[in-house]
Structure formats: structure tokens, C-alpha cells
Structure 1
Amino acid sequence: MIKHLKMAALALVCSAAGTAQEVEFTEYNLDNGLHVILHQDNTTPVVTTSVMYDVGGKDRINGKTGFAHFFEHLLFDGTENIPKGKWMDIVNANGGTNNANTSNDRTYYYETFPSNNLKLGLWMESERMLHPKITQEGVDTQNEVVKEEKRLRMDNAPYGQFLSSVSENLFKKHPYKDPNIGYMDDLDAATLDEFNQYFDQYYAPNNAVLVVAGDIDIKETKKMIEDYFGPIPSGKKVSRNFPEEDPITQQINAKTYDSNIQIPALIQAYRTPGFQDKDSYVLNMISTYLSDGKSSVLYNKLVDDEKIALQVGAQNLEQSDYGIYFIFGLPLGENSLEAVSNSIDEEIAKLRTELISEKDFKKIQNKAENNFVNSNSSIAGVANSLARNYLLYGDTDLINEEIEIYRNITREDIRRVAQEYLKPNQRVVLDYLPETEDNKTE
């Protein structure tokens, strides 16, 4: 009976993925270069207004790091018409929620309001773009906020340094080598003029996309957008010329010490193609095969069967210029990092030489379709997908068509991608170790 229920549930998931409702949208440009995408869905009285800027941790000014993440905080500080510290109060008082996040490649701001507050959301985002107050007082305040965030999420968090340790060994030239949050010395040394220059360079309408999704009227919304965003002057075109990395041809061995952990970790990391490459999609499917759930290959092997690991996982960290594919494991008891690494290597070697089973392949295809449907199951999710697909992938239609990329991936593609990118001589192997009095000076 239980088996039949599970099969029925799986069939329902597959059916939902196969018949996902198409997301309709309208897109156009304002005269100042701002790209606008509108999605009308009047089923619930909510609306998301969002702006994604083409600026992230990889973008520097005078060689200094951390500016994009810093501005994620700074641009909530206030504007000419929103008093300092009142941004959140306005959102909360009008029944809304809001947030922002920064990656190495983009910065995203958004609000979700009851739909009768659409005009408020548009006004606030236009204020952020046109009238921010960038003052020394605000910079000093946010500097302390960013430092506290770094202490909380990186310096004092268990395994908080692992990604930055991987990146600094995987990249030698590209700015991906440095942490997205930046180096605090760079922010301390930055001048107010540099912060203003950075804003002028990257936070212009022609370097952004505005998405409005939810309970809207297209014609009325276009009029409001023209009123609020049309007068904002265009900025200079952003140009980038990041250096290319030399291929990794020999395994790089590295160590990192962390005073916040007691259990060491083994990390294998590979430099992979940017997310616009089809092979990045294949790597996502490989991650699902290797470590999505307790029935996955690595969990079954290292945790259940061999009992040499407490935890194991694989992830494709998608980025624009280069991706990072990493596999990690935490040894159980007296088992060594080498034992964990060798066991992982056995499964990766199979991926390079053998085709995965039809049963496993169908399973990961179903999960890809389910993830695709879930990513667009809310108005906020649709807004995010529309902005990301346009700004980063250069194809807004991916919100409806991306699933076809996964459907066209074959078992042969999985073997080919593993052969091309997941080779032992093309990786960083990082021993992430507890810090002790004996190794503090290493």
C-alpha cells in the first residue's frame, strides 16, 4: 500500500511539472535604458516590485573589494525623501516585506506589498535609484554593520571560511578569488568620493532591470513606471575586462584552520563553466545524483554503507564567468579525510567512465522538473526568475523554456561533463581543519 502511495505521489509531481502554467510577461525599455518586465497575475492581491542591478562582488573600484555588498546595506539607509532609518518602518506600516541580496554577479532589491500599494513600491525603488543619501555618517554606520555580519557569518561561524578558502585557491587572477563581502581593510580605506563614484557607475537605470509581478493592470503600471523611473538619467555604459584563469593541470592541495570547529572537513573543488553554458545545467543534475537526499549515491555509500562520514554533499555554485563545483565530506569518528576522499573519488570515477542507470536518470530528471515548477510557485519567485533570466542569462523566456534544457540532457552528457571537468588533476583539495595551538602559526 505504501509503495502504491509513493508511486501515486511521484506521478502527481511529474504531472505538475509537465503541465506547469506558462508565465506570461511584457518587457520593454524606457528611454533611459531601464529594462522593464511586467507579469500580471490577479489571482491574489499582492505585488512584488524588484530591481536587479548588474553589479556584484567581482566589481571593484580602484582595486577595492566589497563595495556591491556594502551598497546592499547602504541603499536602505535613506534618501532625500525617506528619512534615515525609516525605510523598513514604511514597508512594515504598509503591510509589506522587503529584502536584498548580493552575489558575485548581481545585486537584487525587492518589496512585496498588498497590490493597492504598488505605487509605494515603485516610488521607493525609484528613490533608491535616483535620490540615495550617501553620507559619511551612513558609510560609517554601515561599515560597522558589515563588520558584524562578517564576524557572525564567517569569522565566528563553524566552517564559515570554507567558500572563501576554496575561491582563493581555485582562482588566481579573476576577482572571484576574493570574498563577496570584501576585505574590511578595503572598506576602511575607502573614501566617500569612491562610494559616490561606485554608485554613479553601477546603479543607473541602463544597468538594471525592473520587474513588477502580481495583481496589476499593465497599462496603469506602465504609466506609473514612466512617472517614477522615466526622469532618472541614464549612466555611462559599464564595461568589464576580467582576466582569464590559466587551466588547472595539477591537483592543488591546501589547508584552512578554523577555531570554531571540532570535526575536520574534506572539500574537493573544481573550476567549471559559467551558468550560461549548458554544461552548468548538467553539473546541477550531477549534484542531484550525488547528494540530493538520503537515497543519493554519496550518502548511501559514505554514510549508510561504509559509515565513514557524518555528512557528505555536492553542489554546483553557479556564477557568470566561472562556476565552482565542490564536494565535501565530514569524517565519522577516527576515519581520515583521505578515506573520505578516496571513497568519493570512486564514485566520481564511475561517472567519468560509466553511464548512470536509466532509473537514476529518470529520478534526477523528475527532480529537475519539480525544482523548476517550485521556483515559480510564488509571485516573488516569478519576479526573481524574470529578473535573473534577463540580466544574467540574457533570455527572459527561460522562465518558460529552461526546463527543456534539462529535458534534453542525456546520460551521455552526464558522463561527458564528468570526464571534462571532474578530473583529479583539475581540482583543489582542501583540508578544513580545527585550529589548535600547534597549527596557529601555519
Structure 2
Amino acid sequence: MHPLRFIEFLTLKFHKHFLFLCVNALFAGEGDIADFTLDNGLKVIVMEKHAIPVVSINLWYDVGSHDEWDGIRGTAHLFEHMMFRGTESIPDGDFDRLLDEVGGDNNAGTNNDHTIYYERLPSGKLELVIKMEADRMQNLVLNQEILDTEREVVHEEERQRSADPISKLILKFMRNSVPEGHPYVETPIGIMEQLDTVSVATCQAFYDMFYAPNNAVLIIVGDVDPNNTKSLAETYFGPIPPSHNLPPDPDLSVPDREEKITLLEKSSFDIPVTFMGYQIPSAKHEDIQALEVLNSILSGGESSRLHQRLVRKDKIALFSAGQTFTRKGPGFFLYFAFYFPHVKPQKIEATIIDELTSIKLNGVTDHELTKARKQLLAEKVFQRYSAGSLANSLGNAEMIYGDYHEYEKEIERFSSVISADLQRVANSYFNDENLMVMHITPEDLTFGKKLLMRIASIFVGG
């Protein structure tokens, strides 16, 4: 081995082991994880983290938009709102008020696969949250007034999205990323015409089916005692009966694409945009870490390949970025660029493909790999300082892999990515038949705006 190569090898090994030492030091004497499952099927994961007297709670329900059927599209997201409207013992508005009084906060989110409820508060008030979450798992009040009010809130969200021309087209892009009839074909916001016909009885049936202990995972991270936490979970969640009519998981597989999909759209946005998405496998697939490292090289900041090529060198774009969009089923590897009106969209597409082809043929440099891997590893390490991030990582691993211990292997997976992996995944996924492109051009761009943009393009990238 060449001496310089050997020094570089030792440097890489040092960085890898240094990051592992950081993680070990961070959790020295704490961070022990315990888990147990109640008789009704609720799995509880508890991580001790005693640095500060705070606790983060995640309650994951295994229900998302992919579980909906035709006629109720948007109901999973609707429930994210209705779950805050109160129970028989905790009136409407008191959930937020009670948390606020003890210095806590909360939020929720719905995606294709799951619905998640989050709380963060002083660890001495853990019982309050466990009691309230158990209460609304079983005793949520559902009536016509609540349904109508929260349905209008969702309508307002949809109106705001529709008013943003780019957001509206991104949703269309996502819908077209899977075949018609696939469980992912509708985004969590749903179809307003269907949501308008959903009845209280349908909502009650949906709630009884999916909001049950055997369809949920409770994650608690912070300054807590596992034995006390188990006792609280048994006291409040233990009496809740399981759901006996959970449907089987939907089939999320997709056939291989046979040809490129191209969508041509008009928008009131003044700047043309191109989105390019390559279909990639499930979040638990062994190629995902390599794809994330590759995405960092291609679009991770101003030194990335695409920014340097599109913005700095060729000066044809104002901005470019990318993301690996992963989920329980197939996801996509997304790139987009905002560019000047005088530039043809085909030029943007061809330039991005040229950069991807270069990696397919020649791979990446050792410097690019080292930098991207270090950045991603640092992000993963620093996320572990936060109880909230830890709870989210544990929940995601449990829901995606079926085993929360997989989160512990995350750093090792990123550390083991090598240059050959990046070239292999580039050749596996960056192919025309696996590509979907959306070119968005302005509906009406005046001569004056075109001229100003043309002048601006002269100075971009300097």
C-alpha cells in the first residue's frame, strides 16, 4: 500500500472509532434500554437518560394514509387533529393546557405509514402524559360538531397547499411516483371530496380498529426509572382491550418501471423548476445508507457536485438540492433545481444525468466519500444528545424494521459504506426506465422579468 494511502486509511479508521467513542462516552453509565409488552399487545420501550430531568414520549400508531380505503382518503390525518379534542374525563382543550401548566409541549404527525404523537415535559410529570395518552387511546369523544370543525381545519390546510403552486405540484409528483391503485398513491392530506362524506360512525369504526394497544408502540426516553414506567404503563394502558379487527398490512410492493415518466406542468410560480425522482427500495433495504451518502455528495450544500455544476460552473440554475425520501415501502431519490427562464428544462435534466453518469462510470473521490460520511455520522451522533430524537429513532426502527435494536446499528452501517457501494447503487437505480421527471414552467412570464432573470444569471455563481 502506498504510504499516503496507508495514512489516509489510518485517518479514516481514527474518525470512525472517534465517533464510536463519542457515542459510548455520551451514554456511559446511562442509556440502558428496556422493553416489555403488556398483555393487550402494547409494546413499551424505555431508555434511561439522566443528564437532565426531562422526558420525551412518542406514541406511534401503525396507521397512516396507506391503511385507508377508497371513500375515506384523509381519515388518518383527520384523526391526528381529532385526538386533541378531548375525552370524557379530559375536556376539549385541556390536553394542551395541562401539559403547558407543567412546562411541557406536544405535537403530532401523520405520514404514509404511521401516526405519531409526541410530548416533552419534566420527568416528574411522566404519569400525567401516560394517563392522558391512555385515556385518549380508549375514550376519545367523537361527534358531528368535532368532525365538522376538524374537517374544516384540514380543508384550510389543503387550501394553503393549493395556494402554493410548487407544493401543489410536489404532491402530484409524489402521487405519480407509484402506480395507480397503490396504497401510496394518495398523500396523507387525502381527497377532500371523500373526507366530506366521512361520517361519525365511520370515524368511530376507524378509531376502534386502529387506535388500540396492539397497534401501537410507546417509547419513553429520559430521566425515568424503567420499573416505575412499567408500573405506570400497566396501570393506565393495561386495562385497554386490544383491537380484534386489525386488517392485514397492505401490499406495498411495486413492479419495476419499464420506461421513464415525464410530466410537463404550468405554474403561476415565476421561476421554472425541474424535479427528478428515481425509485428506491424500502427504508430497511441494505442500499439505503449508500444512497444517503451518495445524496450528500450530490446535493449536500454549496460544495456538492450538483450545486458546483449547475450553479457555479454552468451558471444555469439558481439553486439545486436533493433528498432520499424513504418509507416502509418504496421511496424515491429526489433532485430538483430552480433555474433561469432562458434555460431549457431538457438542459437541466441532461446536466443532472451527466453528473449521475459520471459517478456510474468513475465512482466518487476518496475526499468526497470521507467528507460525506463524516457529515452524516456527525449528524447521527449529535442527534443522540436529544431525548426527542432518540425516541423518534427508536420508534422508527421498531416500526420499519420490527426491532428497535436496529437503531444501534445505524452508525456502523454508515461507517461501512465504501466507494464501490456508491458506484454500485448509482448503476442499480440511476437508469432512465427508473426515472420520473416533472418540468414546471411559468404560465406567464413578462419580457421584463425574463430580462431581469437573464441579467441575474450573468452574476450567479461568481
What range is the shorter-chain TM-score in?
Answer: over 0.9
CA contact (8 A) 1:32 1:205 kept: yes
In the TM superposition, what whole-angstrom CA distance separates every residue of 1:37-85 from its partner, at most 9, and x where no partner exists? Answer: 0111121111112200111111114542111111111101111111112
| Counterpart for residue 136 of structure 1 | 144
2:94 equivalent to 1:91: no
The residue matched to 2:309 in structure 1 has which SS? helix
Matches within 5 A, 1:93-132: 93-132=101-140
Determine if the alignment matches structure 1 residue 56 to structure 2 residue 59.
no
1:221-264 per-position Cα deviation (integer Å, ceiling 9, x unaligned)? 111111010001011244123364332121111123333x1111
The separation in 2 between residues aligned to 1:265 and 1:217, in whole angstroms, is: 52
Moved more, 375-384 or 201-210: 375-384
Deviation at 1:169, TM superposition (A): 2.1
Secondary structure at the residue paired with 2:204? helix
Shift of 1:333: 4.8
Query: Corresponding residue for 2:158?
Result: 150
Shift of residue 107 of structure 1? Answer: 0.8
Match of 1:223 in 2: 231
**Which residue number corresponds to residue 255 of structure 2?**
246
**Taking structure 1 as reference, are residues 63 and 281 closer, same or farther at Cα in structure 2, changes over 3 Å only?**
farther
Contact 1:35 1:210 in 2 (8 A): yes
CA distance in 1, matches of 2:186, 2:316: 33
Aligned AA (1:119): E
Partner of 1:4: none
Contact conserved, 1:290 with 1:297, CA < 8 A, in 2?
Answer: yes
Q: Residue deviations 1:377-399, cap 9 Å, x none? A: 21111111111111222121123
Could you tell me which runs of 5 or more consecutive residues in structure 2 were left unpaired when the two chains were aligned.
Answer: 1-13, 446-462
Distance (whole Å) between structure 1 residues aligned to residue 374 and residue 292 of structure 2: 13
Quick one: distance in 2 between partners of 1:408 and 1:73? 41
In 2: Cα distance, 1:270 partner to 1:162 partner = 17
Secondary structure of the structure 1 residue equivalent to 2:167? coil
Q: Match of 1:3?
A: none
Q: Determine which of 25, 44, 49 is the counterpart of 2:33.
A: 25
1:162 paired residue number: 169
**CA 1:404 to 1:243, structure 2 compared with 1: closer, same or farther past 3 Å?**
closer
Unpaired runs of at least 5, structure 1: 1-10, 438-442
- Structure 2 CA distance for aligned equivalents of residues 247 and 16 of structure 1: 38
Aligned pair partner of 2:267 in 258, 261, 283: 258
- Residues 115-135 of structure 1, C-alpha deviations (whole Å, 9 max, x = no match): 111111111111121111111
Distance 1:13 1:421, change over 3 A: closer
Q: State the secondary structure of the residue aligned to 2:318.
A: strand
Q: Which moved more, 1:154-163 or 1:280-289?
A: 154-163
* Aligned pair partner of 2:427 in 392, 416, 419: 419
Q: Is the 8 A contact 1:14 1:369 kept in 2?
A: no
Cα distance in 2 between the residues matched to 1:357 and 1:264: 32
Specify the alignment match of 1:235 in structure 2: 243
CA distance in 1, matches of 2:134, 2:56: 14
Residue type of the alignment partner of 1:20: V
Q: Indicate the larger mover: 109-118 or 163-172.
A: 163-172
Q: Give me the whole-angstrom Cα distance separating, in 2, the residues matched to 1:65 and 1:341.
A: 34
Aligned residues of 2:282 and 2:329 also touching (Cα < 8 A)? yes
SS of 2:401's equivalent in the other structure is coil
2:23 is paired with a residue whose SS is coil
User: 1:168 is aligned with what amino acid?
Assistant: R
Over 3 Å counting, the alpha-carbon distance change for 1:16 and 1:234 in structure 2 is same
- The 1:419/1:383 distance shift into structure 2, 3 A limit, reads same
* Cα shift readout 1:119-172 (whole Å, capped 9, x = no counterpart): 1111111112111111111110000101111222x2112411233221232212
Q: TM-score, normalised by structure 1?
A: 0.92
Identity %: 32
Using the alignment, how far apart are the partners of 2:90 and 2:154 within structure 1?
22
Moved more, 334-343 or 207-216: 334-343
- Residue 334 of structure 1 is matched in structure 2 by 342
Which residue in the other structure is 1:314 paired with? 322
Letter in 1 for 2:208: D
Residue number in structure 2 paired with 1:384:
392
Q: What's 1:15 paired with?
A: 18
Code of the aligned partner of 2:22: T
Report the equivalent of 2:364. Answer: 356
| AA at the equivalent of 1:239 | P
Counterparts of 2:110 and 2:256 in 1: how far apart (Å)? 28
How many angstroms does 1:341 deviate by?
A: 1.2
Q: Which residue of 2 aligns with 1:430?
A: 438
Distance 1:12 1:359, change over 3 A: closer
Aligned-partner SS, 1:124:
helix
**Cα 1:77–1:241 shift into 2, 3 Å:** same
Looking at structure 2, the residues matched to 37 and 241 of structure 1 have their Cα atoms a distance apart, in angstroms, of: 26
Distance of aligned partners of 1:244 and 1:232 in 2 relative to their CA distance in 1, 3 Å threshold: same
Mark the CA change 1:243 to 1:318 in structure 2 (over 3 Å): closer, same or farther.
closer
Give the AA of the match of 1:28.
Answer: F
> 8 Å contact 1:307–1:332 — kept in the other structure?
no
Of residues 374, 379, 382, the one that matches 1:366 is: 374
Q: Is residue 208–residue 391 contact of structure 1 (8 Å, CA) maintained in 2?
A: no
Q: Secondary structure at the match of 1:253?
A: strand
Please give the secondary structure, in 2, of the residue aligned with 1:159.
helix
Cα RMSD between the aligned structures?
1.9
Contact kept in structure 2, 1:207 and 1:238, CA below 8 Å = no
Residue type at the aligned position of 1:186: Q
Partner of 1:78: 86
Q: What SS class does the counterpart of residue 175 from structure 1 fall into?
A: coil
Which letter maps to 2:156?
Answer: E
Contact 2:83 2:140 in 1 (8 A): yes
Q: Return the alpha-carbon distance in structure 2 between the equivalents of residues 12 and 326 of structure 1.
A: 29
Q: Given residue 191 of structure 1, which amino acid in structure 2 is its aligned partner?
A: S
Alpha-carbon distance in 2 for matches of 1:388, 1:128? 22
